[in-house]
Chains A and B, each alone.
Chain A
Amino acid sequence: MGFIWYLIIRLGGALVTIAIGAVFVFILMQLIPGDPAIAALGENATDENVAAFRRVHGLDQPLPVQFWIWLTGIVQGDFGTSITLAQGYPVWDLMVQRLPNTLFIAVYALLIAVVIAFFAGSIAALRQGKMSDTAATSASVLGISMPDFWLSYVLILVFSLGLGVLPAFGFTSPMVSFSGALVNGALPAFAIAAPMAGVFARILRAALLETKRRDYVTAARSFGFRDTFVYMHYIFRNALIPFVTVIGVQVRYLVGGTVIIERIFGIAGLGSMMVDGAFGRDYAVVQACMLAFLVFVLGVNLIVDIICAFLDPRRTH
């Protein structure tokens, strides 16, 4: 019973944050200098056209009314229409087309980072103070220090231009060909994954070292259990909680990375859509992307909370 309540409270909290986030985004959008009607119609628009545009889009209404129209629209899946990016096209349809690509790259990157961190962190912790620890720890700091958009070009240089094993540009949507997306998405996913892997590996190492010297581990050893058994059942399982928690924190940085990476590799995702929207002053698009990213981060954190609740049921009380 405790778990269900825990879930409901967490979910409710996330929904409140999304609602406040919607207000925040809406207010900031009003601060953007310039008239959205002029931005949409161009400098030479006649006064009648501007007035008509304002009437059609509800811009002549008071702000709270505008906000209410916008909010009720969102709840029904209506994010308005794109003005400059895809003229007259519903923003919702654009998002539905692009979301799978961004999700695919983000999850792909997350998996790569977790796998690398698992090995690097474990090796470092098990061989603490030895050469392999130093190597793994140094590699982690190096990884954290690599700007992902620069790493993208280095990877293209090595794997596409040098070795010719992976394509440099262009992306196949996972909805079209999953294996194609795996191959085409490898470089962008790795570019986003490398700095994260560094952060994760360090946290895992620290958590493992902390757990290694707990009394129950010593007790398990004294029972004569084999090292691998003690490691998997006593040390690793308990070190997982800080590890998983950090993933929730890092998602803030990860998803930011997709914004530039998608542009470099020509991936039609939410990130590149937001940048194009920002350049084209397509406010409906930017607004929608902000909320989508907010929902994404909160969603991942919710999943992290659930995993942590499973790993440590005391948390749900």
Chain B
Amino acid sequence: MASSTFSPKRFARDVLRNRSATAGVAIIGFMTLAMIFGPSILPYDPNDMDFMAILEVPSWTHPFGTDAVGRDVLARVLYGARISMLVTIVGVALGGAAGTLIGMTSGFVGTWVDPVVMRIVDLLMAFPIFVLALFLMLVLGFGIQPVIFAIALVYVPNFARLARNTTLSVKEEPYVQAARLMGQSNLRIMLREILPNIAAPMFVQLTVGFAFGIVIEAGLSFLGLGVQPPDPSLGVVMADGKDYFLAHPWVITLTGLTLMVIILGLNLLGDGLRDILDPRLRKRSMA
């Protein structure tokens, strides 16, 4: 499938025909709207304390209740989800871009470069993913920017391996050979011929990467290594909630539920996109 045949119209139709993708788009669409417009619709600022309304149970005035200093939990969750999503998207996208570039070059150049790069990738993929992120936080320091870089670095090997393997499979295709015979430069061949043809699996990997990336962000912030309070991220709000969880369980439960819905949406979208974009898998799942 050459890239020039990609039509946004057909892609949209495929998405709507795929149950999983439609559900994912609906969930992520709803959550995105809530994240963008929610904080301005709600009459509360995520950092406004109200000492007359401490640890209130969920009600019409405070749908997710209030926390230990009377902050509206829903406002904090929506605002926090915004930060969590932003951190994750930037982190995974950075890691995806770097990983794709490294993997594509490694697969295309071959020679001694490829085995060396793949050894490093194998090594990084032998560390538990959250442990590696935790370790990187120690090197990079705590806070928002380090979380972004930690997520990016953790994802580089995943993308590099996928990009390298898919590059190997298209490298000997006639259109690449043709470009080579025409005397095009390696860089041009990689960007014009190979990248468009390995884009689909990378795109699917990106969606799946967002789903676990947001878990890494929330986990690191939950431990206190990531986004620093009072700025809310989903992990920060959950960490607040854990201190009084036994008596007032809704703060952590509802915040985590929001996180789960976002992850669910991303997973459904990823599943759907995989079916749509990867004809090889589509054949298999139809059988």
Contact = CB atoms under 8 A, between A and B. Distances in A.
A286 B218 CA distance: 21
A210 B286 CA distance: 10
A151 B253 CA distance: 9
A20 interface: yes
A256 B223 contact: no
A26 to B, nearest CB: 12
B119 interface: yes
B215 A141 contact: no
B263 interface: yes
B287 A210 contact: yes
Contact of B127 (A146, A213, A297): A297
Chain B: interface residue count, which band? 35 or more
Contacts of B199: none
Chain A: interface residue count, which band? 35 or more
Which among B126, B242, B256, B260 has the highest number of chain A CB atoms within 10 Å?
B126
B128 A252 contact: yes
Interface in A258-317: 259-260, 263-264, 271, 274-275, 278-279, 286, 289-290, 293-294, 296-298, 301
Given A141-B268, A147-B259, A294 B126 contact: yes
A9 to B, nearest CB: 15
A56 interface: no
Contacts of A217: none
B131 A256 contact: yes
Interface in B94-147: 119, 122-123, 125-131, 133-139, 141
Nearest to A202: B271
Contact of A297 (B128, B137, B139): B128
A161 interface: yes
B10 interface: no
Nearest to A18: B126
B128 A21 contact: no
Contacts of B127: 21, 252, 290, 293-294, 297
A295 to B, nearest CB: 9
- Main secondary structure on A side of the interface with B: helix
Interface string B149-169: 000000000000000000000
Contacts of A279: 224
Contacts of B284: 206, 210
Given A252-B128, A255-B131, A154 B225 contact: no
B260 A146 contact: yes
Nearest to B219: A260
A252 B212 CA distance: 12
B134 A275 contact: yes
Interface string B221-250: 011110000000000001000100110010
Given A213-B287, A253-B128, A260-B219, A150 B256 contact: yes
A89 to B, nearest CB: 20
A209 B219 CA distance: 35
Nearest to A28: B139
B256 A259 contact: no
Contacts of A176: none
A292 to B, nearest CB: 10
B131 A274 contact: yes
Nearest to B249: A157
B252 interface: yes
Contacts of B5: none
B211 interface: yes
Given A260-B130, A294-B126, A141 B259 contact: no
B219 A147 contact: yes
A188 to B, nearest CB: 15
Interface in B167-221: 211-212, 215, 218-219
Nearest to B255: A150
A14 B68 CA distance: 49
A17 B121 CA distance: 11
Interface of B: 119, 122-123, 125-131, 133-139, 141, 211-212, 215, 218-219, 222-225, 238, 242, 245-246, 249, 252-253, 256-257, 259-260, 263-264, 267-268, 271, 284-285, 287
Given A32-B138, A146-B260, A154-B253, 7 more contacts: A21-B126, A31-B139, A147-B215, A251-B128, A252-B127, A255-B128, A289-B131
9 contacts: A28-B139, A32-B139, A144-B267, A146-B260, A149-B218, A259-B219, A260-B130, A294-B127, A297-B127
Please name the 5 residue pairs, one residue from A and one from B, whose CB atoms are nearest each other, closest first.
Answer: A256-B130, A150-B256, A145-B264, A255-B128, A256-B128
